[in-house]
Chain A
Amino acid sequence: MKLTTSGFTVWLAAGAMLAAAGVTHAQPETAGSLYQKECGTCHMAYPAEFLPSRSWQKLLTTLDEHFGENAELAPEDVQALQGYLEANAADSGDNRRGRKMLQGIDARQTPLRISLLPYFVRKHDEVPERMSIGNPEVKSMSRCDSCHTRAREGSFSEREVHIPGYRDWED
Chain B
Amino acid sequence: MKIPYRLSFALLGSLIFTTCNAATLDDVLDSYQAAGATTFSAARGETLWTTDHPDPESPGKVRNCSTCHGKDLSQPGRHVNTGKEIEAMAPSVNDKRYTNAKTIEKWFTRNCKWVLGRECMPQEKGDVLSYLRTK
List residues of chain A with CB under 8 Å of any chain B CB: 5-6, 9-10, 12-17, 19-20, 22, 42-43, 64, 68-74, 139-140
Contact A5 B114 (CB under 8 A): no
Docked complex Cα distance between A5 and B109 (Å) = 48
Interface of B is mostly: helix
Docked complex Cα distance between A74 and B103 (Å) = 10
A-B contact pairs, 23 of them (CB 8 A): A6-B2, A9-B3, A9-B7, A9-B9, A12-B13, A13-B12, A16-B14, A16-B17, A19-B17, A20-B13, A22-B20, A42-B84, A64-B113, A69-B110, A70-B109, A70-B110, A70-B114, A71-B110, A72-B109, A72-B110, A72-B113, A73-B106, A140-B82
Residue of B nearest to A12 (CB): B10
Q: How many residues of B contact A (CB 8 A)?
A: 26
Query: In this assembly, does B61 line the interface, its C-beta being within 8 Å of a C-beta of chain A?
Result: no
Given contact pairs A20-B16, A69-B114, A71-B110, A13 touches B2 in the complex (Cβ within 8 A): no
Residue of A nearest to B99 (CB): A22
